[in-house]
Structure 1
Amino acid sequence: MDLARADVLDRLERFYDAVPRDGARCEEYDALVLFVREGAGWPFYARPRLDATGHPTLADVTAVRARQRELGLPEAFEWVHEHQPDLLAVARSAGLSVLEAPLMLLEPERLPEPGTFSDVLVRVLDPAEPGFAADIALRRAVAAVGFANGGTARGEAGPAERDAAVAGLDVAALEEEASRVADGRRVSVLAGTPEEGALASGMAMRVGDVAEIAGVATLPSARRRGLGAAVTATLARELRAAGTELIFLSAGSEDIARVYLRVGFRRIGTACIAEPAAVI
């Protein structure tokens, strides 16, 4: 591994470790740390400790999974494969299914204008706007429908499903996102038309001069219109304008990674996301 790439991966490791710490307590299990969220929001994960001297073992994984079950948390683990290559086999031996997601870094000089991809308006959500709270709810509702219908193919789910999803959102989680946008730790965007409403959304988490773009989703009925790429480009431009130096993301599949290649990202590694294998 060349020195420049190694430095980038080290910075991403520190980012992954830092993101949960202001909203979670940390429980250490030898070479792993479990982040237990305190308050509203998505549950966090377990990952390798930054200061661990050894590699995570099957016993470590088993102990964390038992604690996650005890707390009613998802049995979720995340790590960068290039930093912990042995953990892949350990996780699989524990009966976990591992998504090996392309880990991608923005090359700023290759970042296009969002309008290159779509003529649909993409808005950065502004806490000063009177409709801010409703926009946050729409962002999360679009994401809920989009991720419930994964992939890049067009489908039936659309505005009606989005509007139905709004009613089921966790109010405390909405308030948490709004607070993080207001204090600059998060950037959220929506893409849509006056006739159809919100069609695509995305967000970014920022720690210092590093940010991760995540949650980019499009309603299935609005796919194949360039909206995911436009949302991603808008987020990246907003982050760059705010002085963010390192912008990265993880693609859920090779098909999705090809979308991000068009936005100026290149693959630098593999993000591993492990959870219990589905029982068929």
Structure 2
Amino acid sequence: MDLVQAGLLDRIESFYDAVPRDAARAEKHGGLVLFVREGPGWPFYARPAPDATAPPSAADITTVRHRQRALGLPEAFEWVHEHDPGLLAVARSAGLAVLEAPLLVLDPDSRPDPGVFSDVPVRLLTPDAPDFAGDVAARRAVAAVGFSAAGTARGEAGPAARDAAVTELDVAALEEEAVRVADGRRLSVLAEVPGQGALASGMAMRVGDVAEIAGVATLPAARRRGLGAAVTAALARELLATGASVVFLSAGSTEIARVYLRVGFRRIGTACLAEPTAGRP
């Protein structure tokens, strides 16, 4: 690993540790830190503790899993393999299944243009929009339908499936979303066609000048039209325009990673996402 790659991974690791801290309490368990959300919202994960004196052990993982169960949280763990290379074998020995997701960073010389990939307009969501709640609900519904059919292949689920997946947002969650969008910690976009509504969506989280693009999803019926690339490009372009110097993301597979390579990302490492292996305590 060269010094440039090591420096980027250090900044990404610092980002991962910082993102949950304004919405969760951090519990130290040996070489791991478990983030426990205070209030409504998506639950967080456990990660290697940045100030640990020893690498996470199988015993640490078992302790955290018991704690997650007691709190009613998913038994979820995340880390960057190149930053903590020994954790992969330890996690598997402790009964976790690990997804090794390509970790990609945007080339600093790239200037992504959504129009290169699709002629479908991509709109940035703003809290002062007439129906911000509806926009956020649509973004989440597109993601729910898109991620229920993983990969890039076309399918039957389209606008009707999206509309069926729309749920009313908790007031506190919507307020949190509005605050984070207003202060630049979060971006959300929708790719929309008149008469059909949102066909693709995505979001980004930001801490300082480091940002992660996440949740990029396209309705299966609208795939193979460049919408995922257009959404990613729109988010990256806005992040760069507002001062981000490191923009990264993780892809669910090498097939999905090819979409991001077209936008101007390059692989820098592997993001590991772990959960219990089926049938193992």
Please state which band the TM-score falls in when normalised by the shorter chain.
over 0.9
Task: Indicate the residue corresponding to 1:234 in structure 2.
Answer: 234
1:54-97 superposed Cα distances (whole Å, 9 cap, x missing partner): 10000000000000001010000000001111110111111111
Residues 6/92 of structure 1: CA separation in 2 closer, same or farther (3 Å cut): same
3-state SS of 2:166 partner: helix
Residue 134 (structure 2) pairs with residue 140 (structure 1) = no
Structure 1 CA distance, aligned partners of 2:173 and 2:86?
35
Residue 86 (structure 2) pairs with residue 86 (structure 1) = yes
Task: Indicate the residue corresponding to 1:74 in structure 2.
Answer: 74
The answer (yes or no) to whether the contact 2:125–2:187 under 8 Å persists in 1 is yes
Structure 2 CA distance, aligned partners of 1:169 and 1:158?
21
Unaligned runs of 5+ in 1: none
The answer (yes or no) to whether the contact 1:141–1:169 under 8 Å persists in 2 is no
3-state SS of 1:63 partner: helix
Q: Which amino acid aligns with 2:276?
A: P
Unaligned runs of 5+ in 2: none
Task: Indicate the residue corresponding to 2:222 in structure 1.
Answer: 222
Instruction: Using structure 1 for the length normalisation, give the TM-score.
Output: 0.97
Instruction: Using structure 2 for the length normalisation, give the TM-score.
Output: 0.97
3-state SS of 1:79 partner: strand
The answer (yes or no) to whether the contact 2:202–2:213 under 8 Å persists in 1 is yes
3-state SS of 1:8 partner: helix
The answer (yes or no) to whether the contact 2:112–2:236 under 8 Å persists in 1 is no
Task: Indicate the residue corresponding to 2:104 in structure 1.
Answer: 104
Task: Indicate the residue corresponding to 1:177 in structure 2.
Answer: 177
The answer (yes or no) to whether the contact 1:40–1:176 under 8 Å persists in 2 is no
The answer (yes or no) to whether the contact 2:108–2:245 under 8 Å persists in 1 is no
Structure 2 CA distance, aligned partners of 1:27 and 1:12?
21
3-state SS of 2:109 partner: helix
Question: Superposed, which structure 2 residues align to 1:234-273 within 5 Å?
Answer: 234-273=234-273
Structure 1 CA distance, aligned partners of 2:112 and 2:208?
24
Task: Indicate the residue corresponding to 2:17 in structure 1.
Answer: 17
Task: Indicate the residue corresponding to 2:187 in structure 1.
Answer: 187
What is the CA-CA distance between 1:161 and the residue it aligns to? 1.3
The answer (yes or no) to whether the contact 2:27–2:35 under 8 Å persists in 1 is yes
Q: Which amino acid aligns with 1:220?
A: P
1:238-275 superposed Cα distances (whole Å, 9 cap, x missing partner): 00010111000000100010000000000000000000
Count of matched residue pairs: 280
Q: Which amino acid aligns with 1:267?
A: R
Task: Indicate the residue corresponding to 1:161 in structure 2.
Answer: 161
What is the CA-CA distance between 1:179 and the residue it aligns to? 2.5
Structure 1 CA distance, aligned partners of 2:259 and 2:3?
28
Structure 2 CA distance, aligned partners of 1:180 and 1:277?
35
Task: Indicate the residue corresponding to 1:115 in structure 2.
Answer: 115
